[in-house]
């Protein structure tokens, strides 16, 4: 042992090459060791949920910065890095993800893209929301402006996923989830979209509520176009349901006696209240025009076109709005068709016969009141009467043979008189018309079938 001390005093010269070795060792090994420690630290944190993770190694010391989503998670992460073999010190620069109060998440849709903004609680949930947005919106660009925060309400993810589903039903707008309250604003993509969104919001997870639902529906549009050249009436747009659809088409068939009804209507929810009771009289007004367009947009009815004579234009302008349910508006842009050239009395008779062969003037059952469905036909009869101002016309009422003969006689007189009065109200001189009732004495067909009876119930115009 004594020798060892003696010899050791002479060991110093070897320290000089040792220092050289040390320098080489330090030079060659530092960078590989730092890379190795960084790789193994990252591997140790692979399954830990962190945001903004950054690992820097100097020598054997690891600087570890990250944002964790809980205090336990943060400590676990630091512990995992400390446990990596070879690590000497961990400079703990971790902190918790900031807490958002209130916790706000939003999805906004404009013309070109959907922007997800606000806070998401975990990277996995953020990823799922983005994925759901891309899958659900098929082809629309999805911009991610979400950051990560703590403080999300329970079941945030299922609420946000449900709201993301709704953004697809919007044309533009914004859905905001603030803590547990939902606010929606914007315009629905389709008719019924607003109702579909309102229905879906009922499935929000427990604890969530709707603070404001300001989704607007696109206008509910119904259009009818009367084309005098093609002799058609084209119905397009929406109707509330199949019953209203059938009723409207039937009403159009009665009112437009000579035109073919082209039915391009689709059923959709979202109709304003009183839709049918506004559209039916509006169709009646359209039937009185020579050519015209009817546009019903939400509760606004616009009618434009040419009336057959001046008084008809006045009646339509003044009369139509009165029939509408409350809250409906009526805008008329009616001009008057130039009067056709005057014709001879015999031509007039022919024109009357042609018109009355296409349709008959209808009355309320068993009464002398003219049906609203026949106003279009009457306008055409008046237009014809205006073309032969010198002709005197007998308006002849006929009935079928059903019931009491005296009653039929009176009914035929009343009906003929009602038509004559209508013509006079339209501005024709009263002395041109004689109203005569023939009861059931001049049948056109046998009274033993319904069809025959219907032919016998008629008003004839006879030029004298």
Partner 1 sequence: MANLATFFWGWLLASFLLGLAMGWVAVVHRGQGVSKLVARCLAVLAAGLVAAALARVVPGRAGYWLDLGLVMFGLYLAGCAIGSWLRDWVVSRALRRTDGP
In the complex, the residues that contact partner 1 under the rule CB under 8 A are 3-4, 6-15, 17-18, 21-22, 24-26, 28-30, 32-33, 36, 58-61, 85-86, 88-89
> What do you get for the CA distance between the two ends of the chain, in Å?
158
Pick the closer one to partner 1 by CB: 57 or 295. 57
CA neighbor of 286 nearest in space, from 262, 302, 299, 266: 302
Pick the closer one to partner 1 by CB: 63 or 371. 63
CB of 45 to partner 1, least distance (A): 19
DSSP code string of 345-393: HHHHHHHHHHHHHH----BSTTSSPBPGGGHHHHHHHHHHHHH-TT--E
CA atoms within 13 A on the CB side of 116: 28
CB of 150 to partner 1, least distance (A): 32
As to burial, measured by CB atoms within 10 angstroms (0-12 exposed, 13-18 middle, 19+ buried), residue 68 is: buried
List b or e across 107-133, with b for residues whose CB sees 16 or more CB atoms inside 10 angstroms.
bbbeeeebbbbbbbbbeebbebbbebb
CB of 87 to partner 1, least distance (A): 10
Pick the closer one to partner 1 by CB: 29 or 441. 29
CB of 98 to partner 1, least distance (A): 29
Query: Distance of alpha carbon 181 from its chain centroid, rounded?
Result: 25
CB of 81 to partner 1, least distance (A): 16
Cβ atoms within 10 Å, residue 417 = 17
CA distance 275 to 297: 10
Pick the closer one to partner 1 by CB: 23 or 445. 23
Pick the closer one to partner 1 by CB: 24 or 407. 24
CB of 5 to partner 1, least distance (A): 9
CB of 36 to partner 1, least distance (A): 7
Pick the closer one to partner 1 by CB: 3 or 338. 3
The neighbouring-strand residues paired with 333 are 304
């Amino acid at each position: 042992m004594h020798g060892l001390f003696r010899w050791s005093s002479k060991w110093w010269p070897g320290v000089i090459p040792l220092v050289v070795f040390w320098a080489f060792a330090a030079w060659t090994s530092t960078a590989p060791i730092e890379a190795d420690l960084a790789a193994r630290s990252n591997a140790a944190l692979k399954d830990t949920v962190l945001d903004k993770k950054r690992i820097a190694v100097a020598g054997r010391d690891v600087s570890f910065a990250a944002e964790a989503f809980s205090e336990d998670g943060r400590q676990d992460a630091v512990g995992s890095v400390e446990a990596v073999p070879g690590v000497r010190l961990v400079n703990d620069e971790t902190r918790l993800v900031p807490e958002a109060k209130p916790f706000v998440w939003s999805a906004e849709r404009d013309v070109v893209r959907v922007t997800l903004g606000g806070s998401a609680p975990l990277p996995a949930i953020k990823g799922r929301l983005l994925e759901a947005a891309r899958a659900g919106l098929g082809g629309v660009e999805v911009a991610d402006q979400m950051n990560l925060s703590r403080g999300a309400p329970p079941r945030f993810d299922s609420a946000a996923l449900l709201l993301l589903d709704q953004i697809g039903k919007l044309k533009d707008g914004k859905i905001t989830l603030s803590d547990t309250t939902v606010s929606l604003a914007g315009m629905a993509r389709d008719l019924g979209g607003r109702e579909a969104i309102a229905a879906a919001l009922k499935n929000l997870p427990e604890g969530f509520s709707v603070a404001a639902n300001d989704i607007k529906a696109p206008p509910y549009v119904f259009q009818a176009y009367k084309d005098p050249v093609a002799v058609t009436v084209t119905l397009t747009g929406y109707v509330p349901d199949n019953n209203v659809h059938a009723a409207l088409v039937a009403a159009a068939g009665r009112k437009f006696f000579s035109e073919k009804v082209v039915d391009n209507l689709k059923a959709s929810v979202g109709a304003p209240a009183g839709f049918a009771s506004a559209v039916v009289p509006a169709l009646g007004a359209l039937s009185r025009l020579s050519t015209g367009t009817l546009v019903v947009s939400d509760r606004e009815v616009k009618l434009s076109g040419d009336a057959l004579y001046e008084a008809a234009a006045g009646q339509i302008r003044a009369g139509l709005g009165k029939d509408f349910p409350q809250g409906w508006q009526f805008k008329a842009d009616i001009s008057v068709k130039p009067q056709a050239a005057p014709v001879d009395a015999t031509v007039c008779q022919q024109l009357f016969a042609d018109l009355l062969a296409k349709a008959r003037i209808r009355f309320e059952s068993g009464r002398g009141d003219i049906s609203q469905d026949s106003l279009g036909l009457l306008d055409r009869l008046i237009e014809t009467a205006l073309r032969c101002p010198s002709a005197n016309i007998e308006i002849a009422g006929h009935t079928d043979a059903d019931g009491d003969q005296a009653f039929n006689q009176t009914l035929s007189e009343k009906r003929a008189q009602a038509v004559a009065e209508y013509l006079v109200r339209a501005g024709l001189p009263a002395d041109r018309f004689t109203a005569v009732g023939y009861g059931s004495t001049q049948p056109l067909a046998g009274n033993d079938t319904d069809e025959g009876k219907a032919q016998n119930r008629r008003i004839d115009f006879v030029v004298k």
